[in-house]
Chain A
Amino acid sequence: MWLNWLKTRGGAAMAALGTVKGSGNWFLALALGVTLLKCLLIPTYHSTDFEVHRNWLAITHSLPLSQWYYEATSEWTLDYPPFFAWFEYVLSHVAKYFDQEMLNIHNLNYFNSRTLLFQRFSVIFTDLLFVYAVHECCKCVNGKKASKELTEKPKFILSALLLWNFGLLIVDHIHFQYNGFLSGLMLLSIARLFQKRHMEGAFLFAILLHFKHIYLYVAPAYGIYLLRSYCFTASKPDGSVRWNSFSFTRLISLGLIVFLVSALSLGPFLAMNQLPQVFSRLFPFKRGLCHAYWAPNFWALYNAADKLLCTIGLELKLLDPNKIPKASMTSGLVQQFEHTVLPSVSPVATLICTLIAILPSVCCLWLKPQGPRGFLRCLILCALSSFMFGWHVHEKAILLAILPMSLLSVEKAGDASIFLILTTTGHYSLFPLLFTTPELPIKILLMLLFTIYSISSLMTLFRKEKPLFNWMETVYLLGLAPLEVCCEFVFPFTSWRLKYPFIPLLLTSVYCAVGVTYAWFRLYVSMLTGPPGGKTKKQ
């Protein structure tokens, strides 16, 4: 009987094994491969975010809803929207089977191997949503350039770029955060808009907003796109809006969806009269303009220019050394950064800058609707613009632009070139997140793996068109290698290490800021000079 069973099952199992390289299963192989890599990364270094999330597990598990946003035993208070808190609540009910003690609020910095396993596996497991979203996104890319070689198909390249994304790997699975499933939600909602399932897309995005409010940055793109291309059901032949085609039912159903999701999330707190407290936790404006390590954005360039001018001023005796605040010269690690020459920047100023930066792209989306691709471009521009000019931006926020940008990169050579510059510099700017020595080889190897693969595969994909980089871009990208060598291999052995400990961070941040700004600029140009709406609409 045993043998018979083997014979019947055997054929099936072998067939299953054999088809892994068949049609759709390469996707499974990519996804499973990266999952195994994530499992191997379990014992790596993890940041304080690990403790943050453990604390949130404890808060949501052991306290009633009314105290979630008031609890302050640990310094890592709950500062994500309610859905994320509920998410932690659900996780905590699994966590209790691993170790009850990690759910105690007073066990600050509680750590053992079971806690580690649970937390790491929770990230790996929730990444399934991301995998599904990538699968859906692959259906949206144009397959017109379909080559016979599997590895030269846009779908294959796109899934490799997304699933094996370097930034997600190190931020989620080493540094520790839950960006995987959040990005999954965003990609899924984008994919739904591509598939003309607008209501679903809007619903998913509303949910996402109540998971992590950083996605507010891309909300303008959603709002305008849904209004322009969904609520208005037709356009004039020249692409401008046909005002009488407005559909009230569509607007109301969209509004209803957003309202219902928000009610579900914030309603309980409104009922308990806690909304102000929740919002004060969600939007803390007490932090500085830049994070301790400057994210590579406009303000990094601004700060650097300030320092440069200050030094020049001191050299030329134009500035009085006694009037210069000490902190600005000694280190870049001070949260409140005071500018010496250039005017200081207030939160409102950054908000205005961000809005001004976003505005053209949003206008463009309204005036020249180019279907979901135009929307995607606008979404990336919103994300990038707010990264460029936002208040207290984290370097991790670059993922918000990189991940959706992957979708564009496999369709047009120009976008591929922008994508490669943006990802390479953006990913490199994540390096300071992992500053421990055991993780040094990992980050270098993974970065090389992703960069070499992305550049080579996209070059192969677009080999018939003009080269992806001009000589300046090539030199700039190659410059990252000596920069890394200087910052992490040479600098620690020089005498400047004690006197100017912030120099490597400053260099990294400024160097990457140049690349990110350049990519942002080129993407903007591509949006504004894109083909007029009327034609592409018909495609």
Chain B
Amino acid sequence: MEKCYWMAVAILMGLTVRWTVSLHSYSGAGKPPLFGDYEAQRHWQEVTLNLPVRQWYFNSSDNDLQYWGLDYPPLTAYHSLLCAYVAERIEPAWVALYTSRGHESAAHKLFMRATVFIADLMIYIPAVVLYCCCLKEISTKKKAASALCILLYPGLILIDHGHFQYNCVSLGLALWGVLGVSRDWDLLGSLAFCLALNYKQMELYHSLPFFCFLLGKCFQKGLKGKGLGSLLRLACTVVASCALCWLPFLTEWEQTLQVLRRLFPVDRGLFEDKVANVWCSLSVFVKVKDLLLRDTQILISFLITLLSVLPACVKLTLRPSLRGFRFALVSCALSFFLFSFQVHEKSILLVALPVCLVLHEVPFMSAWFLLVSTFSMLPLLLRDGLLLPSVATTMAFCMACAALLPAWAEASEEALQLGAFLAAVRKHLPYLKPALLPHGIRCLFLASVTTMVLLTLMSVTLEPPRKYPDLFAVLVCFVSCLNFLLFLAYFNIVIMWDSKNGRRKKTN
């Protein structure tokens, strides 16, 4: 009792903030004819309930794919169907075919919010709590503290409970995957991750580290003996679980192909809207989108992404460790976000999740990253009328990190996990002062926070010049992108110079 209550307090705080945010506006509220993601989710309920499975992903007179057509994998569709059943029992008008388009009412908002809340409560939050309970070498109170920090991460709360999406489901499943893999229940872990992947195709950002980590583990056991067996078992689990999810769409080749086409809409371009990734930031100077053919764009983005994830993946395969796995998740997801084709601004959440997992190891850099990631979605949040909850939750998150995390604001070499790297650098540059790096990082942090605050103030108060209506949005993306590049470099350095821990793991 005495020990659990801090965790209970942390969970209740997380839940309270989630529900209070959900009372605010959602994307596309009162904005016909297209509305926003809220209407998209409602429309999917309408489609999945009223149409046979075979028509879900096909354009037809009953299913206008131009109007929020289903473009997520089958598990999302099943989830929509489940919600639709409940909705139909409460009020059939909410999910009636055709007539329910653009339906908005207080009761319906309550229902939709409740579905996200319940999904969050059942999938994401238990995973976070369990993850924090499994952390080693810290007291129960500290475990609760890190759980609170993770649960208060504003980006996920604002997108799921404010803007309206079900990221908590896919991220929660991925987290269950991480949990399973790190507790050596590899089969369960890979099953959970497959479910995540079949809920949202963007989970592919996390797939490489999972693959490399499991492969590395099998290599360690010896590919000729035990390792081969476990590899085969893993492969079977993955194939079977995916097949199960896709069962209704595997009957015909055309069905499968159509779903895949919907999932990876290459014709939608290099990036959408204003994203804080390299391609969007580059377009300020060079219009890559118009200069190159689409196939060339795909090829280039693919190659650069591959190049960027390669070091972390190779290292993880050769020397699999839990710590390395977590950092590889961060670096791979970030590389995908920065360089890959067709990225949404909300995809930053996929990077934020693994960063939350290393929050207790590198508190300073992680908290900083999480702040930047929330900031990078500012244009979207402002469009949804979520300024007040954004500011409030961000401040609450900052405060929680500052008050609860050990060694927050400690930017020493040790705290940043850069000791080994700097030792290596010093061999070549002996005149480098030891205090220079922590100092430099602090300055960068302050500069970054100041620009974020200033840009937020500017986008809220100032009218953009008529010539550049997107001026502030582009600036936000550009600044965030610069920050993200810095983080990419940092996390890669941490991964590559992680020899010390890897060796210790082995001797254990």
Contact = CB atoms under 8 A, between A and B. Distances in A.
Residues of B contacting A: mostly: helix
Interface stretch (B36-44, B372-380, B440-448): B440-448
Nearest to A18: B409
B20 A442 contact: yes
B447 A6 contact: yes
A42 B388 contact: yes
B240 interface: no
Contact of B443 (A6, A25, A448): A6
Contact of A37 (B9, B16, B106, B410): B16
Nearest to B24: A43
A41 B402 CA distance: 23
Contacts of A33: 396, 399-400
Interface in B451-493: none
Interface string A182-198: 00000000000000000
Given A40-B17, A452-B5, A32 B395 contact: yes
A44 interface: yes
A21 interface: yes
B137 interface: no
Interface string B194-222: 00000000000000000000000000000
Contact of A438 (B23, B404, B408, B411): B23
Interface string B406-447: 001111000000000000000000000000000100110111
A37 B20 CA distance: 8
A61 to B, nearest CB: 26
Interface string A1-43: 0010011011101100110110001100100110011011111
Contacts of A14: 409, 411, 442, 445-446
A445 B5 contact: no
Interface string A421-460: 0000000000000000110011001101100110011011
A23 to B, nearest CB: 13
B12 A445 contact: yes
Contacts of A18: 402, 408-410
B227 to A, nearest CB: 46
A151 interface: yes
Contacts of A441: 15, 19, 117
A463 interface: yes
B399 A40 contact: no
B23 to A, nearest CB: 5
B310 interface: no
B287 interface: no
Most chain A CB within a 10 A radius of its CB, from B24, B391, B396, B411: B396
Interface string B1-45: 110010011001101110111011000000000000000000000
A43 B446 CA distance: 33
Interface string B136-148: 0000010000000
Contacts of A26: 403
Given A18-B410, A33-B399, A456 B5 contact: yes
B392 A10 contact: no
A39 B16 contact: no
A463 B23 CA distance: 40
A21 B403 contact: yes
B399 A29 contact: yes
Nearest to B439: A7
A38 to B, nearest CB: 9
B389 interface: yes
B23 A456 contact: no
A39 B408 CA distance: 26
A3 B1 CA distance: 51
Contacts of B391: 39
B17 A17 contact: no
Given A36-B396, A37-B16, A442-B16, A10 B402 contact: no
B253 to A, nearest CB: 46
Nearest to A7: B443
Contacts of B443: 3, 6-7, 10
Contacts of B409: 14, 17-18
A20 B404 CA distance: 9
Contacts of B442: 10-11, 14
A448 B10 CA distance: 12
Contacts of B13: 449
A449 to B, nearest CB: 4
A7 B389 CA distance: 32
Most chain A CB within a 10 A radius of its CB, from B399, B408, B410: B399
B110 interface: yes
Contacts of B21: 40
A40 B117 CA distance: 17
Contacts of A456: 1-2, 5, 8
A447 B339 CA distance: 46
Given A13-B446, A448-B12, A452-B9, A32 B388 contact: no
Contacts of B9: 449, 452-453
A29 B403 contact: yes
Given A17-B409, A456-B1, A39 B388 contact: yes
Given A6-B447, A32-B395, A438-B110, A40 B12 contact: no
Given A20-B399, A20-B402, A456-B1, A445 B19 contact: yes
Contacts of B19: 441-442, 445
Contacts of B402: 17-18, 20-21, 29
A18 B400 CA distance: 12
A44 B13 CA distance: 17
A14 B411 CA distance: 10
B15 to A, nearest CB: 5
Most chain B CB within a 10 A radius of its CB, from A41, A438, A448: A438
Contacts of A452: 5, 8-9, 12
A41 B24 CA distance: 9
A151 B141 contact: yes
Interface string A331-345: 000000000000000
A452 to B, nearest CB: 5
A36 B395 contact: yes
Contacts of B411: 14
A83 B16 CA distance: 36
Interface in B272-331: none
Nearest to A9: B446
Contacts of B395: 32, 36
Most chain B CB within a 10 A radius of its CB, from A7, A25, A26: A7
A40 B389 contact: yes
A459 B392 CA distance: 32
Interface string B377-397: 000000000001101110110
Given A14-B409, A21-B402, A449-B9, 14 more contacts: A3-B443, A18-B410, A29-B402, A29-B403, A32-B395, A33-B396, A37-B396, A441-B15, A442-B20, A445-B19, A446-B16, A452-B5, A453-B9, A456-B8
User: Nearest 3 pairs between A and B by C-beta?
Assistant: A456-B5, A18-B409, A40-B20
27 contacts: A6-B447, A7-B439, A10-B443, A10-B446, A14-B409, A17-B409, A18-B402, A18-B409, A25-B403, A26-B403, A33-B396, A33-B399, A36-B396, A37-B16, A37-B396, A39-B391, A40-B20, A40-B388, A40-B389, A41-B20, A42-B388, A44-B20, A442-B20, A445-B16, A452-B12, A456-B2, A463-B2
Interface of B: 1-2, 5, 8-9, 12-13, 15-17, 19-21, 23-24, 106, 110, 117, 141, 388-389, 391-393, 395-396, 399-400, 402-404, 408-411, 439, 442-443, 445-447
